Amino acid sequence: MNKTPNQKSKLKIVIMEPLGISDDAFKALTMLLKADGHQIIAYDHKAETEEILAERVADANIIVLANQPLRKKVLEHCHHLKMVDVAFTGVDHIDVDYLKANHIAICNAANYSTHAVAELAIGLMIDLKRKISESQDILVQGKSKFPIGSELCGQTLGIVGTGTIGLQVAKIAKAFGCHLIAYSRTQREEAQAMGIEYVSLDQLMRRSDIISLHVPWTKETTQMIDAQQINKMKKEAILINTARGALIDYHALAQALNMGKIAGAGIDVFEEEPPLPPDHPLLTAKNCIITPHIAYATREALYKRAEIVFDNIRCWLEGQPQNII
């Protein structure tokens, strides 16, 4: 069982990186915890090394983090840790096995960014299909011959993963007039009621005009979109990834883009957090729009995320934990 708090104990809560909300919002969301006597230490920048991070969190009872990694090397210094509160949906950047082995509670912030991520995915589709960024580059260069784009209406959108975000993308795309197909480990009645046709991954890669990834990163999904799968895509198709960088073999993707085997890609996530190394293959790939992991980052989503994070702590203190991993 997870360690449970002593209701009378005053805990040290360390927020080890910024949560992306205003000072006023932060004060409002932490007011009750402070009123109850809990100590809150919040850092306004990420620790540059694991050694510095270990110093920051060593005495913490509760650690709050977003997407900065929290590994065993750091956690071994945390002898008073009772809870890790992840301000993110995915938890592949923390050592879940170590935390569970030591009976330390883990909570996440599920579904805080559903609309934000879905809207960026759709935005990347529109940009690539209507050649918005490409047209801007041509205009800036003083040229007059502009490319002709395509409408989303009538295109076949293949959604890989029909979880909450995947279904939100489907809802928006349906409003644009897309035909929807999907590949997912679990076939959901809600998706089928929406008119989504479930197919194999092989069929999805071959039939889709647009492919959008919305699955978590696991051993099974690592580089699920490799050279073999990319080669099945239509020459006019585009690939969108706002999920996890490790889902795609980016060297194979860059090669396909540069050789004109597929029409384009919109990528928000990478094997590691930006900044990217200067030799990253997508930095020089043709018809590739890359963004620095911003799909989740809207004012609305970040505030909702912070609300969930502090609700997680409150519920855990009351002995009714939520969003447990």
Q: In this predicted model, what pLDDT tens digit does every residue of 45-72 receive, in sequence order?
A: 999 999 999 999 999 999 999 999 999 9
Q: Where does 178-287 have alpha helices with state H?
A: 189-193, 201-207, 227-230, 250-258
Look up residue 31 and give its amino acid: M
Neighbours of 196 (CB within 10 A): 23
Overall average pLDDT of the 185-212 stretch? 97
pTM of the model: 0.89
Q: Name the E strands within 161-247.
A: 179-183, 197-198, 210-213, 238-241
Tokens of 280: 């990253």
3-state secondary structure of 221: coil
Q: Across the chain, what does the average pLDDT equal?
A: 95
User: How far apart, in whole angstroms, are the C-alpha atoms of residue 62 and residue 291?
Assistant: 32
Ordered by where they begin, the domains of the chain are 12-112+299-317 (3.40.50.720), 114-290 (3.40.50.720)
CA distance 133 to 128: 8
Residue 143, phi then psi, degrees to nearest 5: -90, 165
Show which residues are catalytic: 244, 273, 293
> 């490790």: which residue's tokens?
246
How many Å apart are CA 310 and CA 240, to the nearest integer? 32
In our burial notation (b when 16+ CB lie closer than 10 A, e otherwise), range 86-124 reads bbbbebebbbbebbeeeebbbbbbbbbbbbbbbbbbbbb
Q: What is the DSSP letter of 17?
A: S
Q: Is the pLDDT of residue 7 over 80?
A: no
CA angle, corner 249, sides to 275 and 208, nearest 5? 115
Residue 29 to residue 242: CA distance in whole angstroms: 29
Number of neighbouring beta carbons within 10 Å of residue 138: 15
pLDDT tens digits, 132-188:
999 999 999 999 889 999 999 999 999 999 999 999 999 999 999 999 999 999 999
Instruction: Provide the 3-class DSSP secondary structure of residue 325.
Output: coil
pLDDT at 75 over 80: yes
Q: Output the pLDDT for position 90.
A: 87
